[in-house]
Amino acid sequence: MADSPGAIDLSTLRNPFARSVIPDAWTETEGDVAEINREPFEQCLRLLDSVEANRCGAGLMVTGYPGSGKTHLLARLRAHLIARRPEVLFVYTRLESSAAHLCRFLRQRFVHDLRRPTAGGVPQLQRILAAKGDDQAFEDYLDRAVFSFNLRTVLGKYRQGTHRNLCAHWLAGDALSQHALNSLGIAEDTDDEDSLEDQSLRVIGALVRLNEPHPVVFCCDQVESLEAYPGDLRGLHAYVRIAAMLHDMQPNLLVVSCIQSAYYEELSRDGDAKIVFFRQFQDRIWKYRANLRPLNWEEARALLRARLALVPTLAESAARGSLWPLQDEDFRPLFEKLDSCEARRVIHHAEQVFESRRRGGALPAPESPARFLARRFEALCDEALRKGTEALETVLAHGLPKLLALAEVHERERRPEHARSVDLVFGDGRQATAVSFCHQSPQRLPRRLKSILDADITGAYPRVVLLRPAALAIGAHALKTRAYLTMLEERGARLVQPPAEALAALDALRRLLADAQSGDLACAGQTLESATVAQWLTETLPEPLHRLLDELAGEVPEQTPASPARARNLLDYVAERHVILASEAAAYLQTSEEEILNCARHCSGQLGVLAGPPAVLFAFVAEGFADESH
C-alpha cells in the first residue's frame, strides 16, 4: 500500500478513530487541530479578554449542525484556559432540567465543576478562595461582597478545610440534617420552592462574583433538550431569563450557549411567535454568534493525520503527510456531492476503514439504528442504577415531561398559586392530575407535605399524585410525615413509589432524547433524528415505565393490605429493628406469617422480603451525606 511506513502488524494497533463523539467539555480531546474552527475559538478568547478589560458581561451563541464540533470547541477552550489562564473559572453543563427546577439544577452543576481539580490538581473553588489573601483580607472581601451569613460561613469553613464535603453539599443546594447544619454553624434555609429557585440564582451569582476580577466562563450545552416536546418553550424561556439576569448582575461573566443551527434558524424566523421573545434577550446573552461549519477536505485530512499521530507506530508517517493505512480515495464518497463534511462522519468512516484494514477484509456491516438504540439505552440504564438516587430531582423534572409526551399526554400550565406545591399537571379539566415531587430529605419532607395540604391541592384537582421513589424509605419515627401522608390520602391523594428500575429507565429515556434533540446521538456516523428515537422508545418502552405511566394516570388499582393500620405497625416494627424474621413480626402483631408477608409485599417501596426459608423482612434506608474533615 502506498506510503506504508514498513512492515507493521495493524492488528496489534489500537484504532485511533474509535471515538467520534465527546460526551462533555471536560473530556480530553483526541488529535485536536488548531486550524479547524480557529475563528470561533479565537472569538471566544476575544470576548473573554473584553469581559476582563471592560468589566462587562457578554453572551455568545455557538451554532452548528450535528457533528460539527460544538462540544469539542468548548473542550478546546477548557484545555486552553487550564493550561494558560488558570485564573479563569470554567463551568460546563448540559441543560438537563425543566423550567421549574432550572436554577437549582444550574446551581448543582456550577458547584460540581467548582470542585473539579484543574491546574496542579487543586479544585477550582479551593484555588479561588486561597487567592483572596490572608485571613484578614478574606474577611474584608466577604464584608465588601455583602454575602449572607450562611454563605460566608460556609465559604470560610471550606477555605479552612473544615467539613468540605458538607460545605459543598450546602453550596449545591442539597438538604442537610440538623446535625450537619450544627457542624457548619448555620441555620436551615426555607424549603419554599420559589425561594429555593431565587436562592439558587443568588448563590450562582455570588460564586461568579467570587472569582473577580477574573472572568467566569459558563458554558451551557444542549439548549434544545429543554423542550419536553416539539414547540415547548417553557424551558428555553426560563434559561434565557436566568442567563440574562446573571449577565446583568455579574460584570465578569461570559455565558456560552450551544444550539443547533436548525434550532437557531427556527427561533429567529420572521413571523414566528418565538421571535418576539427571542429578540428581547438577544442583545444580552446572544449578542455574539460563532457558527461552526463542516470540514473541507484539507481540514479533514489534517484531522485524520492528527488522530493517526496518536499511535506511536504511525506518528512518523503521519508527520510526513501520509494517511497510511488509510488512503485519500477512501473518503471520496463523503465529499462527492458537497465540498464539505461533518467531522463526526469523517471520523466514523475512518474508524470503519481502519478496522477493515486491521482485519484484512471488507468494511464491517453498519449497526442498525434499532440495535444501537437498544445497546445505548441499556448502558444508560446500568449507569443510572449505579448512581442510585443521585440527581433524582433532575431525573424527575427533566424525564417525566418527556415520558408523558411520548405517551401523547402533554403537560398543562400550573396555576400560579400552586407553583410551590405542584411540579407538573397533565390531562384535561375533568381528569387533570397534579403531581408533586416528594423526594425531599426527612427534614424537608414534612413541610413539603404540609404545603400541599395548606394549598388544598386535593380540592383543586381531580387527582393528586405524591411521587416518592421507593428507595427513599420513610422511617418508623417520622411521625409528622406519616400524619401528613395519612391526611392527604384521606383527601384522595395517592402515593406512587416508583422502583429503582423505573427511575433508571426514566433517566435513560431523558438522556437518549436529549442527545437526539441536540444532534449528539449518532449511529454509524449518521445523526439520529429525534422523531426516530421517540418512535423507537414508544415501541420498546420498558415495562417499569409503562407501569409508572399507568400509576400516574390512575389506571393501576391501589394495592393496599386489608388492614392499613397493620401495615403501618409492621413498617414501624421492622424499621426499628432493620432485619427480622417474618415469624417474629407475626408473633408481635398477633397475626399469621402469611398475612405479614402479604402486608410486606404491598409495602415494597419500604420493606424488602427474602423468601427463605425462613422468610426475612428488612427495611430500606434512605441515603445520607458522608462528612469529611479535610
Instruction: Please give the average pLDDT of every successive group of 10 residues along the chain, which has 630 residues.
Output: 64 88 90 95 97 94 92 96 94 91 94 90 93 93 90 95 94 87 84 72 95 96 89 87 91 95 78 56 80 95 96 93 94 90 93 89 82 96 86 90 92 83 85 92 88 93 92 78 92 91 96 92 88 96 95 68 64 78 85 82 71 79 39
The amino acid at residue 206 is A
Do residue 87 and residue 203 come from a single domain?
A: yes
Do residue 104 and residue 60 come from a single domain?
A: yes
393 located within any domain: yes
- Identify the bridge partners of residue 527 per DSSP, sorted by sequence position: 522
CA 560 to each of CA 286, 599, 603: distance values in angstroms, whole numbers, following the listed order: 54, 8, 8
**292, 308, 339: which is the final residue of a domain?**
292
Distance CA 301, CA 328 (A): 8
> Residue 627: its pLDDT value, please?
35
> Residue 160: its pLDDT value, please?
94
> Residue 320: its pLDDT value, please?
93
Residue 295 DSSP SS3: strand
Do residue 467 and residue 544 come from a single domain?
A: yes
Q: What one-character DSSP code corresponds to residue 117?
A: B
> Residue 594: its pLDDT value, please?
81
> Residue 622: its pLDDT value, please?
43
* CATH number of residue 253's parent domain: 3.40.50.300
Distance CA 81, CA 236 (A): 28
Range of the domain at 577: 564-619
Residues 6+ apart with CB under 8 A from 169: 176, 180, 625
**257, 292, 327: which is the final residue of a domain?**
292
Cell of 588: 408481635
> Residue 531: its pLDDT value, please?
93
> Residue 372: its pLDDT value, please?
95
Give me the phi and psi of 339, to 5 degrees please: -85, 5
* CATH number of residue 599's parent domain: 1.10.10.10
> Residue 614: its pLDDT value, please?
87
360 located within any domain: no
Give the chain's end-to-end CA distance (angstroms, integer).
59
144 located within any domain: no
Place of cell 443510572: 384
Query: How many domains does the chain contain in total?
Result: 3
> Residue 487: its pLDDT value, please?
94
